[in-house]
């Protein structure tokens, strides 16, 4: 049986607003206004860029949100790109039930409810035609949620709360970015809901899980903090990885031919899926430059996006170099790139035994090989390897 390509799990953005003392609501039945008109507009822009918006049942019961793209120009721009006007609206529910009268079901966009199998029947009876209800197995497993959304073509997921759902995804290591608007007042009530409250699983505490500050923006009297996170499913090869490796292989064909060195392509891609830089061997007429080195040289070493980036290299990064002070594996390590994907291991031809993978793994990076693409990466070097 031929192997199906894995559907790519979506990138995950948590968007939330909190008070200075970390509360996302107060304890009263009315919804606490934490955001401003300007900030709502920013969030509306994020919604418009997402394929799906997800909230928990607690938020639906407390706030009864519509989760629509409000700006007609943004809806029109989505439609011009061939997308539905509103992203898919996803609710995560447990056993507490959901009313068929919620505004979410009455408003625009496709609706999907994901719940543990045991809750599915009850939810279908309550919601009838208002939303599709799908089981995620015995538990509400966030990885299964992402796989289910991936199978429906969701590439960018925005999570809009509430606290339990934030914690569910954060503790599972499945979040790429947090955008947190901080409002300049205190709630001062221990009973009020808080941002990412302690949950069933602990938050990752190791150094690799320290967030990267991506930006801080002042919006009136609010501050919007943006953090990049390292996903713990980084060890999963996705179809996106295969696509980027093919781009790196195409790049390797642009290398000036050499009888004494390999032709390699390298692409550095940020956690949001946006390319940061690319390079190839002997680029720009420098017959000593390596692909990874050339790509890295195009970025500021302090660029915070590097810490959550992936580098794709058609060949294992070198661990020894005569012509430069640092081999590529060392350059990748010092740039803080934690995820390295390669297609082909260096054959012992110019260097006795390349230790690039070992060096990177010892430094804590996740190194993945795509052996299925090794032959493609090798073609351009076939005159060197007998
Ligand atoms: N300021 C903001 O940015 C913001 C954004 C959104 C929400 N909020 C606030 O957040 C509060 C709601 O947060 P919340 O934590 O109560 O609710 P929530 O995170 O929206 O939803 C939690 C619900 O999801 C289900 N669930 C979560 N984990 C589960 C698991 N492991 N297994 C099975 N089901 C699970 C349960 O549904 P069942 O109850 O059906 O079992 C649970 O009650 C509200 O006060 C709202 O105003 C604030
Ligand atoms: Zn190198």
Residue 161: pLDDT above 90?
yes
Characterize 245-255 residue by residue with b for buried, 16 or more Cβ atoms within 10 angstroms of its Cβ, and e for exposed: bbebbebbeeb
Confidence of residue 352 (pLDDT cuts 50, 70, 90): low
Ligand 1 mean position to 57 CA, how many Å? 5
> Using alpha carbons only, what angle is made at residue 352 by residues 347 and 354, rounded to the nearest 5 degrees?
65
CATH architecture entry for 237-379? 3-Layer(aba) Sandwich (3.40)
pLDDT of amino acid 6: 46
Look at residue 17 and give its three-state secondary structure: strand
- Is 92 a pocket residue for ligand 1 (Cβ < 6 Å)? yes
Ligand 2 mean position to 381 CA, how many Å? 15
- For the CA of 288, the nearest ligand: 2
pLDDT of amino acid 165: 98
Ligand 2 mean position to 320 CA, how many Å? 8
- Is 39 a pocket residue for ligand 1 (Cβ < 6 Å)? no
Residue 4: pLDDT above 90?
no
- For the CA of 201, the nearest ligand: 1
Counting atoms of ligand 1 from 1, which one is nearest the CA of 181?
3
- Cβ 219 vs Cβ 51: under 8 Å: no
Helix ranges, 64-209 (H) = 72-80, 103-106, 117-127, 142-151, 163-171
Pick the residue whose CA is nearest to atom 10 on ligand 1.
162
Question: What are the sequence ranges of the domains in the chain?
Answer: 11-234, 237-379
pLDDT of amino acid 2: 34
User: pLDDT tens digit string along 65-80?
Assistant: 999 999 999 999 999 9
Q: Which two tokens stand for residue 195?
A: 């941002």
Burial bucket for residue 4 (CB in 10 Å: 0-12, 13-18, 19+):
exposed
Phi-psi domain of 177 (left: phi exceeds 0; alpha: psi -120 through 50; beta: other)? beta
- Is 135 a pocket residue for ligand 1 (Cβ < 6 Å)? no
For residues 83-94, give the mean pLDDT. Answer: 97
User: pLDDT tens digit string along 203-261?
Assistant: 877 666 678 788 899 999 999 999 888 777 777 777 788 889 999 999 999 999 999 89
**CATH topology match: 11-234 vs 237-379:** no
Residue 216 CA from chain centroid, whole number: 19
Confidence of residue 1 (pLDDT cuts 50, 70, 90): very low
User: pLDDT tens digit string along 357-368?
Assistant: 999 988 888 888
- For the CA of 318, the nearest ligand: 2
Question: Which of 107-121, 184-198, 208-222 is the least confident region?
Answer: 208-222
Superfamily, domain 11-234:
Dihydrofolate Reductase, subunit A (3.40.430.10)
């Amino acid at each position: 049986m031929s192997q199906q390509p894995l559907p790519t799990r979506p990138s995950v953005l948590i968007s939330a607003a909190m008070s200075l003392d970390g509360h996302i609501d107060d304890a009263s039945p009315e919804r606490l206004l934490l955001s401003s008109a300007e900030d709502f507009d920013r969030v509306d822009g994020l919604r418009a860029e997402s394929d799906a918006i997800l909230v928990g049942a607690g938020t639906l019961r407390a706030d009864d949100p519509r989760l629509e793209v409000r700006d007609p120009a943004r809806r029109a721009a989505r439609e011009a790109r061939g997308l539905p006007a509103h992203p898919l609206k996803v609710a995560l529910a447990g056993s507490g039930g959901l009313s068929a009268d919620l505004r979410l079901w009455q408003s625009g966009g496709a609706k999907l409810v994901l719940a543990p199998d045991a809750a599915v029947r009850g939810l279908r009876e309550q919601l009838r035609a208002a939303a599709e209800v799908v089981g995620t197995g015995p538990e509400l497993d966030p990885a299964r949620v992402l796989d289910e959304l991936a199978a429906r073509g969701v590439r960018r997921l925005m999570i809009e709360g509430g606290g339990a759902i934030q914690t569910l995804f954060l503790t599972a290591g499945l979040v790429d970015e947090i955008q947190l608007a901080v409002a300049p007042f205190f709630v001062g009530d221990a009973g009020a809901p808080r941002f990412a409250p302690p949950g069933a699983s602990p938050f990752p505490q190791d150094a690799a899980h320290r967030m990267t500050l991506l930006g801080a923006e002042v919006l009136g009297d609010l501050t919007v903090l943006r953090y990049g996170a390292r996903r713990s499913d980084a060890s999963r090869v996705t179809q996106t990885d295969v696509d980027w490796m093919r781009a790196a292989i195409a790049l390797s064909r642009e290398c000036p031919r050499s009888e004494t060195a390999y032709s390699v392509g390298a692409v550095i891609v940020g956690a949001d899926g946006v390319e940061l830089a690319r390079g190839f061997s002997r680029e720009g007429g420098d017959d000593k430059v390596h692909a990874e080195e050339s790509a890295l040289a195009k970025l500021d070493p302090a660029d915070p996006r590097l810490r959550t980036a992936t580098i794709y290299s058609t060949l294992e990064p070198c661990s020894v170099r005569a012509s430069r002070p640092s081999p590529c594996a060392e350059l990748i390590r010092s740039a803080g790139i934690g995820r390295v994907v390669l297609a082909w291991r260096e054959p012992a031809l110019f260097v006795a035994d390349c230790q690039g993978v070992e060096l990177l793994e010892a430094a804590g990076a996740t190194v993945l090989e795509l052996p299925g693409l090794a032959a493609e990466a090798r073609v351009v070097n076939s005159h060197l390897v007998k």
